[in-house]
Chains A and B, each alone.
Chain A
């Protein structure tokens, strides 16, 4: 420790100092190169997700079960063939109670042949046995506290600031935790990309000022779409809240869906 001012020592210190000075710019350059490999997209600048709050609402009183929405969703989003849906339509049939059984209602039958993408066939029970029947379109419930986001181990699923719950396909590892976590069954593992997929509210459409495909083609305006931060004059969303008593699905789970329904029965889950 006494003879520490040697030539070797001084030279070593000078080299270290020069390396230290060069390290920061060299690291920055290396970082840009690495990230160019990691990220390929350049963002369009005209859409600011913090300035919107998209929301959807379903008026089941108006749904006629044509299934155009489910069909349009498949085509618009190139959803794989087979039992994979980002949105679908369910048919609920509540039968009359058996005579003398003392029950108010009979059985509840739910079906959704091909998600309704080809329309609905005849009811599986004769018309005389039906007490009540209706259609319910289903899609992502736009939860405020979304379980799917909470369980994602890699940060691929997230609540976007504009209200959509989205999946980053480059980060998704296809573990399927989110599919188990979603209480509404709104996610699936794509056999094509091997990643989780779900309703994006047609993110490529809404960011360009269009409605989601399902809302666009709905012939009866059973599906209502709007922006809570920029309500239009005679805003259909505001009118929906004014004119209906609304409910959310599975409120006991605390997910606080932002997708509200009007005109559905307690049997709908």
Chain B
């Protein structure tokens, strides 16, 4: 049987090399593509779940309410109702998991003044004081109850 067309050896070598490269790529791709790649788009779908598995630091209002229902109810009925517990008391996930007095911020003067110190950039509706002219030397809590701020005991 006579060949109709004889391929020059240099062309044959190049063709074989090309086939080899494509085969190597196909095999590597088959083994190395993560199973979730392309699940939602051109990325690894499992990354979503991985990012979701992190531990939280802030517990959220609901966790606080479970034990401190009375304080929570008081807060929701007064001026500070838009605040979360953790706005002033700091992150509470550690405290929610292991309730002790020393793993939650008991809150202080700094927390009050951080919002209520007069500052021209703050909106006008927000109640502000100039701390150096406002009963200097006294603690805020001597006159104000943080959970029901308009009540003066």
Residues of A in contact with B (beta carbons under 8 Å apart)? 1, 27, 30-31, 34-35, 38-39, 41-44, 47, 49-50, 61-68, 72, 75-76, 78, 91-93, 119-120, 122-123, 127, 130, 133-135, 155-161, 166, 168-171, 200, 202-205, 207-208, 210-211, 213, 216-221
Judge if B54 is at the interface, Cβ distance under 8 Å. yes
- Please name all residues of chain B whose beta carbon is closer than 8 Å to the beta carbon of A219 when the two chains form the complex: 80, 82-84, 87, 115
Contact in complex: B51, A204 (CB < 8 Å):
yes
The interface residues of chain B, by DSSP majority, are classed as: loop
A43→B46 contact, CB < 8 A: yes
Chain B residues in 8 Å Cβ range of A204: 51-56
User: Which residues of B have CB within 8 Å of A135?
Assistant: 121-122
Interchain CB contact under 8 A, A161 and B40: yes
Stretch in B12-20, B26-34, B95-103 with 4+ CB within 8 Å of A: B26-34
Would you list 26 pairs from A and B whose C-beta atoms are within 8 A, ordered by A residue?
A: A27-B31, A35-B31, A49-B40, A63-B123, A64-B115, A65-B122, A76-B58, A78-B57, A123-B121, A156-B43, A158-B42, A160-B40, A166-B47, A168-B43, A168-B44, A170-B47, A170-B50, A200-B51, A203-B48, A203-B54, A204-B53, A205-B58, A207-B52, A216-B60, A219-B84, A219-B115
Interchain nearest-CB distance for B21 vs A (Å): 19
Partner of B120, one of A34, A127, A200, A217: A127
When distances are taken between beta carbons in the complex, the residues of chain B under 8 Å from A158 are 40-43, 47
Query: What 0/1 readout, one digit per residue, does chain B (76-111) give for beta carbons within 8 Å of chain A?
Result: 000010111011001100000000000000000000
B74 at the interface (CB under 8 A from A): no
Count of A-B residue pairs with CB < 8 Å:
152
B44 touches A171 (CB 8 A): yes
B residues near A221, Cβ cutoff 8 Å:
82
**Given A38-B34, A47-B52, A200-B51, A134 and B119 contact (CB-CB distance below 8 Å):** no
How close is A129's CB to chain B, nearest CB, in angstroms?
10
Contact B51 A123, beta carbon cutoff 8 Å: no
| Cβ contact within 8 Å between B91 and A72 | yes
Alpha-carbon separation in the docked complex, A41 to B48 (Å): 10
Name the one of A35, A123, A171 contacting B47, with C-beta atoms under 8 angstroms: A171
Give the residues in chain A near B84, CB-CB below 8 Å. 216-219
Complex interface: chain B residues within 8 A of A92 (CB): 121
Nearest-neighbor residue (CB-CB) of B91 within chain A? A75
Of the candidates B30, B47, B80, B126, the one whose C-beta lies within 8 Å of that of A27 is B30
| B69 close to A (CB within 8 Å) | no
Q: Report the bound CA distance from A130 to B126 in whole Å.
A: 18
Chain B hits for A64, CB < 8 A: 115, 122-123, 126
Within the assembled complex, what's the spacing in Å between the Cα atoms of A62 and B125?
9
Q: How far is the CA of A67 from the CA of B46 in the complex (A)?
A: 33
Closest CB-CB distance, A97 to chain B, in whole Å? 17
B82 and A220 contact, CB distance less than 8 A: yes
Given contacts A41-B53, A76-B91, contact A210 B60 (CB under 8 A): yes
Which residues from B are CB-within-8-Å of A213?
A: 56-58
Closest residue to A215 on the B side, CB-wise? B84
Contacts of A217 in B (CB 8 A): 58, 84, 86-87
**Which A residues touch B31, using CB under 8 A?**
27, 30-31, 34-35
